[in-house]
Amino acid sequence: MGLGSVDFDYLRNLVRTHTAIVIDDGKEYLAEARLSPLLRKEGFSSVPELLQSMRVKSFSPLHRRVLDAMTNNETWFFRDLVPFEALRRKVIPEVIQTRGLSRRLNIWSAASSSGQEAYSTLILLHDNFPELNHWQVSILATDYSQAMVDRVKVGRYSQLEVNRGLPITALAKHFVQHGLEWEIAPRFRNMVDCRLMNLAETWPEFPEPDIIFLRNVLIYFDVQTKADILARVHRRLRPDGYLFLGGAETTMGLSDAFERVPFEKTAYYRPKGVNHVS
Amino acid sequence: MRALVVDDSTAMRSVLRLIFKKAGFEVLEAANGYEALNKLTEDSTPVDLAVVDWNMPVMNGYELVTKIRSDERYNGMRIMMVTTESEISHIQSVLAKGANEYVMKPFTPDTIQEKLQILGLSAGA
Ligand SMILES: C[S@@+](CC[C@H](N)C(=O)[O-])C[C@H]1O[C@@H](n2cnc3c(N)ncnc32)[C@H](O)[C@@H]1O
């Protein structure tokens, strides 16, 4: 049984209202694919039946689980590699210079998904910048999905996940094997503060980040939401901080508060109007 | 760039051949370590990357890595293990012998691409 337009529109509105994610026309198959795995556990025999039952109820944990399932959580270690090269060769050496007195480094992985971005960053810092061992380094990992936040906390990855983007030496050095799963060393897990957070709603207070990763999440939002989030990122980021976006994302046409710093085939961003060391 | 795919399964070899061709490699094949060494000596054009299964008859992947790393003609060659072997102690032992990367089966084509990027052998970004 296919998804009718009433059900599909209900789902799209729900998703947009709560997560700001825009689902385009003709993406009924996406809804089916994302929700089918939920059916049996939730006790429904089809996606339309699930949606019809949700429509007559007020917002419940079931709605929340459906929204979770509608988010695309794909991620992998050292995704796109070049941003991490920028971190290693430019950003962290600069930060070490400018924050040498406070010896504090705050990183925010916004839309962290299952945590590969946060843990890749910590592995990179540990393996390349031993001086940071004497610093207070912390990373805030936030996501809309409770399931993802829980995963970051646990720090366990399947064989398929550790295959993806993680140099084998890093796997051998920083993970403990538990059967078919691999768990990141406690040293790294303890540096991560995992929190539930919706980028489209009010943000809680958190330490002023030196570096923000906001990668592969703006693409799902409409222009107004992207612009609003970038404006808030600008207010939260340290004036001499750094912003990383996904490969298909840019501040262009959304915010003129950032300066684009090219690096190889990509770029990162910095707040305009500050005398940056370079 | 040239890759030598060493796996005793013809099905697996054709999967890997397609992936590495797409990644811009000229692909040679061998069904075990012994055949692989023969392929390497038959043809003097250097192989940039050996893609090596672990469990194979005649000569397994571990022995092949050991042989390649003890022959200075192959100093520039990178080695990527692609195998169902996933015990950490085994992984460590073949890394100690000089393998450069490691993919546990099953894998997706993206996984290989990401590993090529790590090795600095990817044609794209
Ligand atoms: C494709 S993943 C990106 C993960 C990682 N940053 C990367 O680049 O690989 C997108 C993540 O954004 C999260 N997300 C979607 N809408 C969100 C929102 N409104 N607030 C916070 N996170 C959201 C999803 O739950 C998902 O984990």
**Atom 3 of ligand 1, residue of closest alpha carbon:** A216
Q: Is A23 near ligand 1, meaning CB less than 6 Å away? A: no
Residues A146 and A201 in one domain: yes
Residues A145 and A253 in one domain: yes
Determine, for residues B88 and A177 on separate chains, whether the beta-carbon distance falls below 8 Å.
Answer: yes
Q: At residue A185, what is the residue type?
A: A
Task: Name the token pair of A108.
Answer: 């925010």
Cα(A241)–Cα(A116) distance, rounded to whole angstroms? 22
How much is the ipTM here? 0.93
Reported as a single tens digit per residue, the pLDDT across B38-95 is: 999 998 899 999 999 999 999 999 999 999 999 999 999 999 999 999 999 999 999 9
Q: Return the pLDDT at B43.
A: 86
Distance from the A85 Cα atom to the nearest Cα atom in chain B, whole angstroms: 11
**Atom 16 of ligand 1, residue of closest alpha carbon:** A19
Write the CATH number for A119.
3.40.50.150
B125: confidence class by pLDDT, cuts 50, 70, 90: very low
Find the closest chain A residue to B91 by CA distance. A172
Residues A11 and A98 in one domain: no
Report the residue of A81, A168, A169, A182 to disrupt the B interface, i.e. the one with the largest count of B CBs within 10 Å: A168
Q: Is there a domain that residue A277 lies in?
A: no
What residue spans define the domains of chain B?
2-118
How many domains does the structure of chain A reveal? 2
Reported as a single tens digit per residue, the pLDDT across B80-91 is: 999 999 999 999
Q: Return the pLDDT at B4.
A: 98
Per-residue tens of pLDDT for chain A, all 278 residues: 578 999 999 999 999 999 999 999 999 999 999 999 999 999 999 999 999 999 999 999 999 999 999 999 999 999 999 999 999 999 999 999 999 999 999 999 999 999 999 999 999 999 999 999 999 999 999 999 999 999 999 999 999 999 999 999 999 999 999 999 999 999 999 999 999 999 999 999 999 999 999 999 999 999 999 999 999 999 999 999 999 999 999 999 999 999 999 999 899 999 997 665 54
Find the closest chain B residue to A266 by CA distance. B125
Q: Return the pLDDT at B44.
A: 84
Query: Where would I find the beta strands (DSSP E) of A112-198?
Result: 136-143, 156-158, 175-178, 181-184, 192-196
Mean pLDDT of B7-23: 97
Distance from the B42 Cα atom to the nearest Cα atom in chain A, whole angstroms: 31
Reported as a single tens digit per residue, the pLDDT across B98-113 is: 999 999 999 999 999 9
Report the residue of A163, A177, A184 to disrupt the B interface, i.e. the one with the largest count of B CBs within 10 Å: A163
Q: Is A20 near ligand 1, meaning CB less than 6 Å away? A: yes
Structural element, H or E, at residue A121: helix A116-128
Mutation probe of ligand 1 site: the residue of A17, A71, A211, A214 with most atoms within 8 A of C-beta? A71
3-state SS assignment for residue A181: strand
Distance from the B91 Cα atom to the nearest Cα atom in chain A, whole angstroms: 8
* Domain B2-118 homologous superfamily, CATH: Response regulator (3.40.50.2300)
Report CA-CA distances (Å) from A85 to A89, A110, A114, A138, A276.
6, 20, 21, 20, 20
Q: Return the pLDDT at B123.
A: 73
Q: Is there a domain that residue A76 lies in?
A: no
Atom of ligand 1 nearest to the CA of A198: 20
Instruction: Please tell me the pTM assigned to this model.
Output: 0.94
Structural element, H or E, at residue B116: helix B109-118
Q: Return the pLDDT at A276.
A: 59
Q: What range does the domain containing A92 cover?
A: 82-271
Question: Is A47 in contact with A3 (CB distance < 8 Å)?
Answer: yes
Task: Name the token pair of B41.
Answer: 């000596």
Residues A150 and A190 in one domain: yes
Q: Is A145 near ligand 1, meaning CB less than 6 Å away? A: yes
Structural element, H or E, at residue A35: helix A28-42
Q: Return the pLDDT at A277.
A: 54
DSSP state of A91: I
Report CA-CA distances (Å) from A127 to A69, A130, A195, A242.
35, 7, 26, 21
Report CA-CA distances (Å) from A226 to A95, A232, A233, B103.
27, 10, 10, 37
Q: Return the pLDDT at B124.
A: 57
Write the CATH number for A10.
1.10.155
Residues A14 and A122 in one domain: no
Report CA-CA distances (Å) from A190 to A75, A92, A102, A172, A206.
21, 21, 21, 19, 17
Q: Is A121 near ligand 1, meaning CB less than 6 Å away? A: no
Q: Is there a domain that residue A276 lies in?
A: no
